[in-house]
Amino acid sequence: VQLQASGGGLVQAGGSLRLTCAASEGPFSNYAIAWFRQAPGKEREFVAVINRSGDATNYAASVKGRFTISRDNAEVTGYLQMNSLEPEDTAVYYCAAGAQPSSAWSWYTYWGQGTLVTVSS
C-alpha cells in the first residue's frame, strides 16, 4: 500500500488542523493506521493509532483529548484531527500502515512522505 500524507500548514496556538492519509495500491482495510511525528533535532515519536476496523484507538499522553484519529475504509483514507494545537506540536507528521496497531514505529511497513505542521505562539 502506498500512503500520502497532507493537510499540514502554519497555524496559531489554539488552532486546528486535519491531516489526511490517502492510500492506494493495497488493501487499506487490512492495516492498522498510525501517525508519528518528528520535531527538529528530536526522535520520531508516536502520536496515535487506529485498528483495521476503526473501533479501537490509542493516543500518546501528550495529545490525548486534543487529537482524534479516524479512518474511512470505503474511501481508503485515514485522518488526524488536531485541536488546541500548541507550539510543542510543531513537527513533520507521518502516517504509517502496519499489520497490527502499535506505538512502536518499527512495526510499520508502509510510510507516507510526511507533512509539516508549524504552530506559532
Percent of the chain with pLDDT over 90: 95
pLDDT at 110 over 90: yes
Residue 54's pLDDT is: 95
- pLDDT tens column, 29-55: 999 999 999 999 999 999 999 999 999
Compute the mean pLDDT over every residue in the chain, rounded to the nearest whole number: 96
- State the cell numbers at 59: 493516543
Q: What is the pLDDT of residue 98?
A: 96
What is the predicted pLDDT for the residue at 106? 94
